[in-house]
Chains A and B, each alone.
Chain A
Amino acid sequence: MHVAIYIPLLIPALAALAARPLAARLRPVAATWLLTLSALALAAASSAVLGMLALSALLRIPFVAGVGHLSDPVISRGDAVSLPVAVIAGGLLAAVAVTASRAVWRRAGAIGAAYRRARTLPGAGEIVVTEDAAADAYTIPGWPCRIVITHGMLSALAGEERGVLLSHERAHARNAHYLFTSAARLAAAANPLLGPVAGEVGFAVERWADEHAAAEAGDRKLTARAIARAALAASAAPPDRDPAIAALGLITEHEQGQPGPRQAGRRRGRPGPVPRRVAALLAPPPGRSLLLLVAAAALVIVSGASAAEAARNFHQLIELAQTSRG
């Protein structure tokens, strides 16, 4: 098989490197869509390649070749994949199947539970204000989504800043951001190299909500200030929650397999998501970056094309083996 078959396995590593700069430079809406769809496409391509590699090992087994009416010599000659590589691919594919289905199962369960929770929250309005002195605010996915804000958070913010908080959470609710983050997380479960991409999807939806709030308020500095003050208030009066779930809004360290708060795993001196969001709001709004979009899309297309080309070769090989046998 042509060496191009390995390209889809390598591109996710490139995507992991590119994700953070892309999330920082693209418009948040574009970044969210691009990163989410790329993660899904790259995960699909790499899984397909693993499948083909594993299948090529399976066809070496005389019994399987016999069942498929394939010619042994043609299979062995035409196949550049060494047996150990194929066996490793088979093992990886099995692991992908297990982790991806577990991720789907768990995430679907979590979303279902959140829907039920959103319904059973007291009151009929979209917003639920709790008496908690800790500063916290979040959106629970549901139909409709519910927004929970603590008394501590409200009292930490000035009137206009509360408006920013509400527009931000409403943007999460209206645009079903949990679907983007869940899809990206699923892709990362199928290919762990895509973990950083999924993390940046979490960041991109926060930026999306921030930019929405800034546009509604008509004041980027006010929005930046509201976020900074809310974060400092939450830091001073931390919500009673497992620190592991606090990272990047939607992404848990638990899922990323790292114990403890995100800060522990963060590269030293690298600013966390909140200062990045504030800085982005203090800078001018990101413009259209068509070039970046095209470059990123090209990467995904190369990956998909390589997988398709490999599939075509593989198919031809099998046909050849069948005719030789006949």
Chain B
Amino acid sequence: MAMRDDAREAEAVVGNADSGEPGRRGSGELEAEVLAALQRADAALTPGEVKDLIGGDLAYTTVVTILSRLHAKGVLARHKAGRAFRYAPVSDQPGLAARRMARVLDEENDRAAVLARFVSSLSESDEDLLRRMLADSSLADPDLGG
């Protein structure tokens, strides 16, 4: 049920973009919409079927580009059926799809700028410092405040 809602929302997003150019939206958003549509579908789909599913404002070639990009990223599997490829999500498991979507999101720096990460990356000296702090949690470096 949740999947169905997601796909409907993805369609709504495409529909809203009628007045604007599809190119205005980031490629990552389009990828997410295509992925959501494929997750809703039970079977592997051709680019034409994907295009029909997500709405009218996308060019066929754009859909093909997005599908092959997602395939290159390992998000979609594909097999030859007749003259066209058919595409399906690599796994239906929500977790895996979420991870892959998050990775697609990460690929665009501007998008990633709005994520609130629990921990940022550490330098080597940060790692040493943290290990020492864990070993003696009463340790507090007086320099840290400034």
Contacts and interface: CB of A to CB of B under 8 A. Distances in A.
A299 B99 CA distance: 45
Given A232-B127, A252-B113, A131 B122 contact: no
A213 to B, nearest CB: 10
Size bracket of the B interface: 35 or more
A121 B145 contact: no
B131 to A, nearest CB: 7
Interface residues of A, number: 89
Contacts of A177: 116
B93 interface: yes
A180 to B, nearest CB: 11
Interface stretch (A45-53, A65-73, A263-271): A263-271
A117 B107 CA distance: 14
B84 interface: no
21 contacts: A109-B110, A121-B6, A122-B94, A141-B114, A141-B115, A185-B113, A221-B137, A224-B137, A228-B133, A234-B119, A241-B103, A243-B121, A245-B109, A245-B112, A247-B120, A249-B116, A250-B117, A266-B123, A272-B123, A275-B141, A283-B140
Interface of B: 2-3, 5-6, 9-10, 13, 25-26, 28-29, 32-33, 35-36, 39, 93-99, 101-103, 105-127, 129-131, 133-134, 137-141, 143-146
Interface of A: 20-21, 24-25, 106-107, 109-111, 113-114, 116-117, 119-124, 128-132, 136-141, 148, 150-151, 153, 165, 168-169, 172-173, 177-178, 181-182, 185, 205, 209, 221, 224-225, 227-232, 234-235, 238, 240-252, 254-255, 261-263, 266, 269, 271-276, 278-280, 282-283
